[in-house]
Chain A
Amino acid sequence: MTIFSSQLFMSAIIFGTVILYGALGEILAEKSGNLNLGVPGIMYLGAIAGLAGAFFYEMSTPDPNGFLCLVISLVCAFGASCLGGLLYSFLTITLRVNQNVTGLTLTIFGGGIANFFGGALNTLAGGVGQISVASTSAVYRASLPFANDLGSFGKVIFGHGFLVYVALVLAVCMAWFLNRTRTGLNLRAVGENPATADAAGINVTRYKYVATCLGAGISGLGGLYYTMDYVKGTWASDGTIESLGWLAVALVIFATWKPINVIWGAYLFGYLRWLYNYIEGLGRSSQEIFKMIPYIVTIVVLILVSIRKKRENQPPASLGLSYFREER
C-alpha cells in the first residue's frame, strides 16, 4: 500500500478512461464553439442505453454471443448519446437557445432518464442492485491473455479492457485531426470566429452539428465504459456519473483544449482520485478534503491560463455563443 503501488495505477487508468472519453467528446464540441454543459447527461444516456441494450439481448438468448453483446451495447450507447447531442445542437444551433441553459437542462434530463430506467431495469431484474450483464461486461473487461504473466508493471499497461486503448488511439487521432487536417482547421475556425468561417465558405451549421453530435457520441462511450468496466455491468442510481461528467468538463480546461494533454490529465485525475486510499493515517473526513484536489487543480490551471494569456492555451474565442448570420 504505497503511493506507487501498481493497484493504484490500475485504478487511476480505469477511472481516467471514463473522463478521458467524456473530455475528448467535449473538446470536439467546444472546438466548434459549443460549450456543452450537458456532458454529464450525455454520459448518463450512453451508460443507460448501452446497459439496456446489453440487458435485453442477454435476456433474450440463453447463450449470449460476446461479439453481439459488444456491438449492440456500443451501438446503443453511441446512438443514444448522439441523439442527446442532436437535441442539444437543434436547440442551440437551429433555435439559438443559450448553450449553458440547454446543457444544464440536458444534464437534468439525461440524469433523469438514466436513473429512471436504470431503476426500472433493476426492478425488472428482480430488485435494487440486481441488474447484471455479466457476459457483456466480461467482453469489455477481457484483457490480453498474456497480460497476467507480465508482472505488475505489464499488467498496469496491458491488463485493461480494449476501450482503454481505443480512448488513447482516439485522443491521438483527434489531435492529428484538429491540427493536421483541412477539416480540423475549418472546425477550429468555426469555433474561433464563425462569421469569418462563414465568409470563407465553410458551412458553419453543418460543422457545429456534426462536431457536437459526434462529440456527444464519444462522451457517451465514457458512460458505457463506466457501466461495463468500472462498475462491472451493474447500475446504481447514485449520481457518480454526474460528478464524473463534470470532472470531464474540468479536464478539458485542465488540458487547455488539447487532446494529448487530456490523456495524462485523465490519468493524473484518476491517480489523485484514488490516492487517499494509499496514504497512511488519513481519516474519513480528511479523505473528503483530499477528493477536492482535482477540482482545485483545475481552478488553478484556469486562473493561470487567464493570467498568462498565452494564445495557444485560450478557449475557442466564440465558445458559448450562438451564431446568427444576420446579427452584427
Chain B
Amino acid sequence: MSSPAIHTAPLVRIAKRDGIALWKSCLIRLAAVFLALVLSGLFIYSLTKLNPVDVYKAMYAGAFGTSRRTWITVREVMTLLCIAIGLAPAFKMRFWNIGAEGQVLIGGIVTAGMMIHLGNTMPTPLLLLVMGVASLAAGAVWGLIPALFKARWNTNETLFTLMLNYVAIQLTSYCVSLWENPYGSNVVGQINQQTRSGWFPELFGISCGLNVLLVLVLTVGMYIYLRYSKQGYEIAVLGESVNTARYAGIKPSKVIIRTMILSGAICGLAGFIAVAGADHTISVDTAGGRGFTAIIVAWIAKFNTFVMLLISLLLVFLQQGAIEIATQFGLNDFAANVITGIILFCIIGSEFFINYRLIPRSGKEAKGA
C-alpha cells in the first residue's frame, strides 16, 4: 500500500491520425476486402468443400456468367446505388436517415398504384414521367416528416425514421391486399404484363438502359452537388459541427429540411426504379433490406458517389454469386446475407486503421514510467 502504483504504458497506444496518404488508405481498404473474401471463401468452403478459387469462379459465373445475369447484376447495382446516393446528403449532414427502406416503399407504392390505375390511359413515356415525379414527391414527404420534427424540436431522427419504415411496410401490405391479383393470393403479381404499360422501355438495346442512365446521372449530379455547390458546403459544415454552422450564418433547420426533402425524394425515385424498372410489382420486399445496406454503402464510401458505385458492385456481385452457389449446392439464399455481413464488418472495421494509428510501446517509454 505504501509504494505508489507503478503505471506502465499500455502495450499499444492509439492516436488519431492527422491525415493519411491516399495509397495507404487504399491499401488498408484493399486488405480489408481481401480479408473479407478469404473469410467468405472459408465460410463457403466449410459448407460446400469447394476450393476457394472455384468458389469465386462459381460466384463470377453467377453474377456475370450470361448476359442476362450480367444485366440483372447491373440492375441490382443501380437500385442499391440510387438509394445510397439518396442517403449520402443526409448522412453527410449527420442526419441519421435509417428510413430509406420506408421512403423506397412509399415511392414504390405510388408508382405501382399509378401503373395499375393510369396504365394504358396514356403513352408509356408520359406515364413514366408522371410516376417518376409522383414517387419523388412521395419520398420527399416521407423524408420531410422526421426532418420537420428534428428541425423544430430536435426529435431523435434515428428512431423516428426507423419507425416510419414499419408504417410504410404496413401501408404496403395494405396496398397489396387492395391490389392483389389474382384475388385472394395476397400478391400483386406482374402489373400490366400484357401491355407493358409503365414498364421501363429498352434503351440503347439494353433492357435496363434507363435504370443505368437515371442512376448514373444522379451519381454525377450528387457528386457535384455535395462537392462544389453552396448547399453541399452547408451540409458539410452542419455535419461537422452545428455550432460552427450557426456561427457561419447557416440556419440548421432550413438545411435539415431541404436536405431531407432531397434525400427522401431520391429514395422515393429508387422505389420508382425498383417497381417500374425491375420488379414490375410491389410487395413488402420491394426494398428488401437495401435501405439498410445502402446506409452502410454510403457511409463507408465517405459519401463519394463513385466509390459507392464500386462498393455497390462488390456487394451485389457477392450476393448474386452467393445465390448461384446456394442454388448449385442446395443451400438457401440467406448465404448471401451472411457474406454481405462478413464483408461489411471487415470494411467498417478497417476504418479504424485509417483514422487511428497504433503506436507500440517503445522500450524507453516503458522504463520511464
Contacts and interface: CB of A to CB of B under 8 A. Distances in A.
Interface in A109-123: 109-113, 115-116, 119-120, 123
Contacts of B165: 246
Interface string B130-163: 0000000000000000000100011110111011
A136 interface: no
A237 B332 contact: yes
A105 B337 contact: no
Interface in B162-210: 162-167, 169-171, 173-174, 177-178, 186
A111 B339 CA distance: 11
B335 interface: yes
24 contacts: A97-B349, A98-B348, A104-B292, A108-B292, A108-B293, A108-B344, A112-B336, A112-B339, A113-B337, A115-B334, A116-B332, A116-B335, A116-B337, A243-B166, A250-B162, A283-B177, A285-B177, A288-B174, A295-B167, A299-B167, A302-B155, A306-B154, A326-B15, A326-B16
A304 to B, nearest CB: 10
Interface string A85-125: 00100010001111011101111111111011001100100
Contacts of A295: 163-164, 166-167, 170
Interface centre among B156, B177, B335 (most CB of A within 10 A): B156
A307 B153 contact: yes
Interface string A68-89: 0000000000000000000100
A283 B331 CA distance: 38
A320 B155 CA distance: 14
B330 interface: yes
Contact of B166 (A35, A237, A292, A320): A292
Contacts of A97: 348-349, 351-352
A289 B174 contact: yes
A109 B155 contact: no
Contacts of A115: 332, 334, 337
B336 A292 contact: no
B96 interface: yes
A200 interface: no
Interface centre among A35, A100, A116, A284 (most CB of B within 10 A): A116
A123 B330 contact: yes
Interface of A: 35, 37, 87, 91, 95-98, 100-102, 104-113, 115-116, 119-120, 123, 237, 243, 246-247, 249-250, 253, 283-286, 288-289, 291-292, 295-296, 298-299, 302-303, 306-307, 315, 320, 324, 326-327
A195 B336 CA distance: 40
B81 interface: no
Contact of A250 (B163, B289, B332): B163
Interface of B: 14-16, 96, 98, 149, 153-156, 158-160, 162-167, 169-171, 173-174, 177-178, 186, 289, 292-293, 295-296, 299-300, 330-332, 334-342, 344-345, 348-349, 351-352, 355-356
Given A97-B352, A104-B295, A112 B334 contact: yes
Contact of B98 (A100, A109, A110, A285): A100
Nearest to A104: B292
Contacts of B332: 115-116, 119-120, 237
Nearest to B335: A116
Nearest to A94: B352
Given A100-B158, A111-B337, A237-B334, 14 more contacts: A37-B158, A97-B352, A105-B345, A108-B293, A116-B334, A120-B331, A284-B177, A291-B170, A292-B171, A295-B164, A303-B160, A306-B149, A306-B155, A326-B15
Nearest to B338: A112
A35 B98 CA distance: 13
Contacts of A303: 149, 153, 155, 160
A109 to B, nearest CB: 3
A249 B296 contact: no
Nearest to A106: B341
B27 to A, nearest CB: 18
Contacts of B155: 302-303, 306
Given A101-B295, A104-B296, A288 B330 contact: no
A102 B300 CA distance: 11
B159 A112 contact: no
B346 to A, nearest CB: 10
Nearest to B350: A95
B170 A292 contact: yes
Contacts of B156: 253, 302, 306, 315
A302 B177 contact: no
Nearest to A293: B170
Contact of B348 (A101, A123, A302, A307): A101
Nearest to B330: A123
A254 B98 CA distance: 18
Contacts of A302: 155-156, 159-160, 163
Contacts of B355: 96
B313 to A, nearest CB: 18
Contacts of B330: 123
Nearest to B284: A239
B340 A108 contact: yes
Contacts of A315: 156
Contacts of A298: 159, 163
Contacts of A250: 159, 162-163
A131 B177 CA distance: 31
B348 A109 contact: no
